[in-house]
Structure 1
């Protein structure tokens, strides 16, 4: 059963001025009903995204990144999903919208590059048909015009001999080519919002760079807003304008990419940065992983969900980290009970020297 009323427990502070952003998400809660219990996949998430801007959403697997993206398109199974909150896309309420309304918006106004291109593409239809059909549906173009559009987009995303390759099936494409075909399918109707879910996963670094450059070029041309979902901070460092760090279905840090990467405020973000290898480090130097494992979303820890893995509850004092949920304010901020002075001190004295 899916409910659409706004929650009474406003645990997440709005991320910006309402009505200005092209995409505005407010107090989003997503719950999945399973045999083992209720999975709290997204737990009070708020953020804004303007046209022509790129928002990077990072975090470990299971943090709620992909669930958030699918929620924007209304792709969750309503029979097993409870969704609360507000998702406004250019003023259109997506949460609670009927299937006919969503079908008009999907692929046309908002599109998604799914994480696994091999499973997202149908093995029964050619690449050209899978790209041309959404174009026909949303524009009313003829079959011939839609096929020409598909060939054009395949060429735009760098597929060699697009007229010939449009007749191929997904299994005849390499991983990088399938990813490019997924991008072509997502962009065929010039969507105003593009959600890219791990678009560079399992691709070599050369193809990764080409795909990220392609997204940037297409954004400049069409002025689209982009949500880039990834677990790799390196991917968003030179791609995104703003950064949202998620943990256990919640936003734990938010700000511009420069702010978050140069002066992170949350212990989880510190852990992500210090666990990455550095070019100047000694090859024999061991990486510093984040201790423990991500929490089960069936039983999220009370208070701050990161406190079982955090090394700073003693600085906060008492049992506040265990008992009280930290909130993240509008704009730049982090959901942590450490004071602003404590965050600066820990980062300057302990984290920054390790980052080099």
Structure 2
């Protein structure tokens, strides 16, 4: 039996031809997720987070998307797989919780109808009665009150938090080995967010699922992720264990993401510092390091490397599985002496 992680993405490239040119949505992306582990994918809008995950599910139109590289799910190559084979995989071995539950659920069909259909597609020998019982069981498991009654209601009759729970129930109804959660708590208030995240953790422990969590919220990543993939301009710019990424980041873009997070527990001298400028156009990405036009530390790199040469993913200074894409020499020291004093002075005071 292979020791390969359940999901292995290698050199994934996704392009979309348009009237204005070729959109380079994802370029040479590689990562993996093991059973029972959670990978957090973070980055600004347009960085390629959702595009790469939709490729895992085969949700891009083959007529309008050019996909290269390798995606192996449970040891099976899915790039180039026929649509009929992808339908067998999608919703069964791999499921996705979409960002907007109201848009993802069909408004004309009752929630129970949509749940039972998702079950019957992958269990053709099951009866409608068995499928309904399974749907009620899943609604109850995700915390929907009175599931035997709620199953016969339409999505608009659910609150935002309940719709998100129904989406999770649909994603888990066939016990998938991999669950992709695309911004599952974005539109919810903080109390419901906490409930949804606790639910995902409980269900992951119960099913031992591999989870990909796509989010802008580094607080969510700190709570849930085992590993973190930071994306910018369609590429991985930092990747490694969550603790390493959050405590010893070595890519200025990651510093910018951390600097942009408010800390309500910090003293009044702490600052929230936004990343200057805008994300790059994926029609004509910058040469060299795609972050260099916005980077506040590019003057610390000798010559014009940042603007002319794309940095490779190289091991971070602390070693291990932590890698970063940056020309900056000695980034750990720069982070400790220049970045941390600005965003978290109380941490600097505690350092030996």
Query: Does the pair score TM above 0.5?
Result: yes
Q: Distance in 2 between matches of 1:284 and 1:258?
A: 25
Deviation of the 1:299 alpha carbon: 0.8
Q: Distance in 1 between matches of 2:3 and 2:306?
A: 34
Instruction: Quote the residue 1:321 is aligned against.
Output: 306
Deviation of the 1:350 alpha carbon: 1.0
Instruction: Quote the residue 1:173 is aligned against.
Output: 158
Note if 1:105 corresponds to 2:122: no
CA deviation vs aligned residue, 1:171-192 (integer Å, no higher than 9, x gap): 1111111100000000000000
The counterpart of 1:347, out of the listed 325, 335, 341, is 335
Please show how residues 28-177 of structure 1 align to structure 2 within 5 Å.
28-140=12-124, 141-177=126-162
2:109 aligns to what SS in structure 1? coil
8 Å CA contact 2:4–2:75 kept in 1: the answer is: no
CA RMSD in angstroms comes to: 1.4
2:293 aligns to what SS in structure 1? coil
Deviation of the 1:280 alpha carbon: 3.7
Deviation of the 1:287 alpha carbon: 2.4
1:322 aligns to what SS in structure 2? helix
Q: Which runs of 4+ in 1 moved over 6 A?
A: none
Instruction: Quote the residue 2:244 is aligned against.
Output: 259
2:313 aligns to what SS in structure 1? coil
8 Å CA contact 2:233–2:282 kept in 1: the answer is: yes
1:190 aligns to what SS in structure 2? coil
Instruction: Quote the residue 1:14 is aligned against.
Output: none
Please show how residues 147-226 of structure 1 align to structure 2 within 5 Å.
147-226=132-211
Q: Distance in 2 between matches of 1:143 and 1:150?
A: 10
1:24 aligns to what SS in structure 2? strand
Q: Distance in 2 between matches of 1:351 and 1:287?
A: 11
8 Å CA contact 2:249–2:332 kept in 1: the answer is: no
TM-score (norm 2): 0.93
Q: Distance in 1 between matches of 2:340 and 2:276?
A: 19
Q: Distance in 2 between matches of 1:60 and 1:30?
A: 18
The counterpart of 2:221, out of the listed 236, 241, 259, is 236
Question: How many aligned residue pairs are there?
Answer: 337
Deviation of the 1:281 alpha carbon: 3.9
Q: Distance in 2 between matches of 1:218 and 1:65?
A: 23
Deviation of the 1:315 alpha carbon: 1.1
Please show how residues 242-253 of structure 1 align to structure 2 within 5 Å.
242-253=227-238
TM-score (norm 1): 0.92
Deviation of the 1:36 alpha carbon: 1.5
Note the residue ranges of structure 2 that are not aligned, 5 or more in a row.
316-320, 348-352
8 Å CA contact 1:25–1:48 kept in 2: the answer is: yes
8 Å CA contact 1:304–1:324 kept in 2: the answer is: yes
Instruction: Quote the residue 2:287 is aligned against.
Output: 302
- Rate the CA distance shift 1:285–1:52 in 2: closer, same or farther, 3 A: closer
Note the residue ranges of structure 1 that are not aligned, 5 or more in a row.
1-17
Deviation of the 1:120 alpha carbon: 0.6
Q: Distance in 1 between matches of 2:270 and 2:132?
A: 54
Q: Distance in 2 between matches of 1:158 and 1:19?
A: 35
Note if 1:332 corresponds to 2:322: yes
Instruction: Quote the residue 2:318 is aligned against.
Output: none
Deviation of the 1:313 alpha carbon: 1.6
8 Å CA contact 1:19–1:91 kept in 2: the answer is: no
